Structure 1
């Protein structure tokens, strides 16, 4: 069974609240459509470590939303992440971008 899709604005608000409760800065870098925009999350691990991009995807077996790393597991320089986001933004102008500053890589979309 496919789980219902939450509105983008609610997903972002929840993520910011979870980060705030841990004392981790979270900033909306790009405000997309409140209802239907896709949400990308940039985990900023510091310029010396790099940035990780997370994007939602549907797990076809369970129907649940999972967060994939479209640019790979390893942190990348900021300009590479920004270039990918810009390419996606041209396809989807309703795209949200949320940046979480977490040196250890924490983000509110981790499984478990």
Structure 2
């Protein structure tokens, strides 16, 4: 074999550090807060499937997913997730969302 060459293109920031798009997406997601995150997730049919398959919930629509999230997080409203004094409920939401993301990775291999 002769000489081989490989070229890699990496997007860099102004300070010439590699740009991490996944980290930027995670930061944007976290900045939304638990209430908005839950609202977005409850609109996703894949989240409904997760709730049915993994959490044994009846969640075949956005409304049923919202009810399941309220039950799992033990709140009267998803808006409570970002209110002061609801840190345990917020932790429950983040745990549920992390389980969902792990499930999606497993399902999509």
Higher helix proportion = 2
Highest relative contact order (Cα 8 Å, sep 6+), 1 or 2?
Answer: 1
- Give the structure with higher Rg (CA): 2
TM over 0.5: no
> TM-score w.r.t. structure 1 length?
0.31
Higher strand proportion = 1
